[in-house]
Structure 1
């Protein structure tokens, strides 16, 4: 009864626009993660095979560019493409934030992004247009991702910091629900009808996301550009100091992003090659594992919301930077689960699935400790004149993390899996410890000028 009462209070206190944005992002993430669950395996098992690779417009030139250090395996090339694609998806929100702040406003920019992403998913239905599809998905995500996240923060008054963090946790839960069901559906469709059918499902769900967003527009904050004419917000004392501190915090999240994002690309290849997927009902589709981290994020979210609310009432809630450090260290521990499983069972197809389950579920818990908190910090601390741009800049952590992870993943087949996953654990562990060391000065820098 107590839990039900708290849940009802949470629903009543959060604005209706939060639920519109959460459901929009749910279906957008369904399409995105559904496609990502297929991408690495699609490339290694079909696209890069003879009779397919030569049909893809521009692929030979791209491979020649990446092979500046010499010929590379298909796995290495896939890791680099995956890393750069994932990275650019998270880099372009900076440009999308500028477009929203200066010209189109958040609503029109989000709508444009949804249309581009739907077209990109449809283009994935053909081998020939593979790179064109990735380009449209990159640009579409840039228009949509940072701006819809900015709208969440704009729903709350400036003084409601703890409530805003819980709102972002709810919003992230919508992301994770979509990320759970997306790979389950697209991987199942791909197994039954082929890779391109799985990509087509992602396109349909992207159109559903657009319909939800447009249908709930009356509950969303004003989406007009803020950097025009007399409406230009004035710079305030301490703006530069807070911006510098926020950029440092974004940088501190990069190591966690390297470790976390590795599970979507190399993680799929590792499971396909080394994990024992046999069950009495047949082999488990590899892509289904890409749902596990999001599932655990969903399960842990209400626990964290209740925990942080309880701590806030007693003035014992950890600071945002402490939460980020905890999340980074949890990423490291989750990656170590893959390393231990690989060390104990080094032969292909012999790693017990429990090690993969432990690592993926742990990654989802870690994500909820650091990513929603980073978004809330940026939303509450970034100056109004560049709020959308700074929200987009927060995704630089994922851009650099994905590109760096793609580069690290290109060495995967040059060492043992146990060694690879140990290195992948060391990166976020270092980031978490550094965050703990710097949290005091950074927290002081984020304080408003007096």
Structure 2
């Protein structure tokens, strides 16, 4: 029998001595940290594309941005000549994409060198500095760099610390702990755009950005207060490299990558909602109501709100189907989510096509569209992560889970590239194109989903049979 894992023993002792409502106290501090960080992140993200197009890139402002005289030519040397809108969309896509790439680096630094606690503190400091630097036009590009690096240091490592609070075999309690943690994420994602969007509309862009920076201080306070309740860092300075995979496992890996590629079609349309989608809402929707002018970033909050309120509905629907002997498969969920996403972004296109004589569409169109986009997210993203977790070879399962987030990295950058067609095609034509892209993902699932699923099932059985066979050990001479 092997000695018990010291980290697991420490987690058990912590659970026994420091429970709060059945969970380690640390999980509540981590949830609070993530709530404030997501408040800051989503509050700033929904302002970014609007700020660039409506102010920063205009004459009299863009000249003030340090480094823009070489940065824009550098970007255009890669992506071609860009209009101000296309450049803003591409820069937004690069920012949003690298936010999902740098956590791979942050996780490596935490695992091998710094530990999660130190890395998270660095991330909080970098993100706070980045948000504050957004207040001045001169430091805009430096602010984006700090935000990308800070998110990389913080994003994955906070979530990893939640798992470290629970014994390895206590999956039921661990799952509930992540539910508490995810609640913090959802609260921040809903409230951040509401507050920052309102402040930006009433007091100017920099009030919204400054608030996002101030809120990062609250994230830092919550994290520091929780330090005594977190598990000890696990640093592994050496590794055994990439383990060898069997032929069956390599085939499985190929199918997992294919699943991620199919999900990319949905993700391209989803990410466009927060890029060109918000620009069209600002320019093409009648936002004045009897209650006042609706801030554009509030639609980002609606997307997050929808992803919360539809959960019990979807769980009830799927449970009902299962009781009737017709369970909803993973590929069916992805296909359904892709169709809903096409309807979502297509609704924006319909609104643009039916705009009144003043060129403004009814506010009902984005209200419907962003609720549908949040609904589609709950069909596709959790399902995709669950499929990767279940199907990826055990030897590289954790790395494949991290690689799943590269879908968001690629789709944000490609969505920024596609945004150059917004002006030539016009809003109606552009959103129709994006709807077709999402429907293409649904069509691919319809054509190949069942075949891939059956093949993966067969590969699972093959690998299980191989694992059950006793290892051959030659007799000693």
Q: TM-score scaled to structure 1, two decimals?
A: 0.85
Contact 2:391/2:456, CA 8 A, preserved across alignment = no
In structure 2, relative to structure 1, the CA distance for the partners of 1:105 and 1:210 (3 Å cut) is: same
Aligned twin of 1:303: 313
Q: Secondary structure at the match of 1:57?
A: coil
Q: Find the aligned partners of 1:219 and 1:242 in 2 and give their Cα distance.
A: 39
Selected match of 1:352 from 362, 372, 376: 362
Cα distance, 1:414 vs structure 2: 1.0
The alpha-carbon deviation at position 92 of structure 1 amounts to: 1.5
Return closer, same or farther for 1:157/1:324 CA change in 2, 3 Å cut-off: farther
Distance 2:179 2:433 in 1: 29
Alignment match of 2:426 (pick from 416, 423, 431): 416
Give the equivalent residue in structure 1 for 2:57.
48
* CA–CA separation in structure 1 for the residues paired with 2:176 and 2:99: 25
Deviation (angstroms), 1:16 = 6.5
Alignment of 1:72 with 2:82, yes or no, is yes
Secondary structure of the residue that 2:464 maps to in structure 1?
coil
Change (3 A) 1:170 1:306: farther
- Could you tell me which residue of structure 1 aligns to residue 342 of structure 2? 332
Q: Per the alignment, in what secondary structure is the counterpart of residue 92 of structure 1?
A: helix
Give, in whole Å, the separation in 2 of the partners of 1:34 and 1:116.
17
Instruction: Assess if the C-alpha contact under 8 Å between 1:146 and 1:391 holds in 2.
Output: no
Question: What corresponds to 2:38 in structure 1?
Answer: 29
1:394–1:431 CA distance, 2 compared to 1 (3 A): same
Q: Distance in 1 between matches of 2:178 and 2:259?
A: 18
The residue that corresponds to 1:449 in the other structure is: 464
Structure 1, gaps ≥5 residues long? 1-10
Query: SS of the residue aligned with 1:224?
Result: coil
Q: Which residue pairs with 1:63 in the alignment? A: 72
1:179-328 equivalence runs, <5 A: 179-217=189-227, 223-226=233-236, 228=238, 240-305=250-315, 317-328=327-338
Structure 2 CA distance for partners of 1:132 and 1:341, relative to 1, 3 Å: same
Relative to structure 1, the CA distance from residue 219 to residue 387 in structure 2 (aligned partners, 3 Å threshold; closer, same or farther) is farther
Distance 2:23 2:263 in 1: 27
Partner residue, 1:124: 134
Deviation at 1:402, TM superposition (A): 0.5
Task: Give aligned pairs, total.
Answer: 439
Q: CA deviation at 1:215?
A: 3.6
Task: Name the structure 1 match of 2:125.
Answer: 115
The CA RMSD over aligned residues, in Å, is 3.5
How far the C-alpha of 1:86 sits from its partner, in A, is 0.8
State the partner residue of 1:96: 106
**Cα distance between partner residues in 1 of 2:227 and 2:319:** 29
165-174 vs 46-55, which moves further: 165-174
**Distance change (3 Å), C-alpha of 1:416 and 1:166:** farther
Q: Deviations over 1:104-138 (max 9, x none)?
A: 34443333322221111111111111001101111
Q: Is residue 433 from structure 1 mapped to residue 443 from structure 2 by the alignment? A: yes
1:253-304 C-alpha deviation (Å, 9 max, x unpaired): 2111111111112111101111111212332122222211011112112334
Name the SS of the counterpart of 2:66 in structure 1. Answer: coil
Quick check: 1:106–1:223 contact (8 Å CA) kept in 2? Answer: yes
| Partner Cα separation in structure 2 for residue 393 and residue 111 of structure 1 | 24
Match of 1:342 in 2: 352
The higher-RCO structure (CA 8 Å, 6+ apart) is: 1
> Which deviates more, 215-224 or 184-193?
215-224
Q: Retained in 1: the 8 A contact 2:40–2:213? A: yes
Counterpart-to-counterpart distance in 2, 1:178 and 1:359: 21
Instruction: Please identify, of 362-371 and 18-27, the stretch whose mean Cα deviation from structure 2 is larger.
Output: 18-27
TM-score, with length taken from structure 2: 0.80
Structure 1 residue 96 displacement after superposition = 2.2
- Tell me which of 355, 375, 388 is aligned to 1:365: 375
Structure 1 residue 36: Cα displacement:
1.0
Q: Matched residue of 2:235: which SS?
A: coil
The aligned residue for residue 3 of structure 1 is none
> CA separation in 1, counterparts of 2:221 and 2:410?
32
**Change in 2 beyond 3 A, CA 1:18/1:418:** farther
Cα separation, 1, equivalents of 2:317 and 2:306: 16
Q: 1:275 to 1:33 in 2, by over 3 A?
A: same
Alignment partners' CA distance in 2, 1:233 and 1:348:
60
| Contact 1:165/1:373, CA 8 A, preserved across alignment | no
Question: How many Å separate the matches in 1 of 2:23 and 2:319?
Answer: 14
Aligned equivalents of 2:302 and 2:211: distance in 1?
Answer: 20
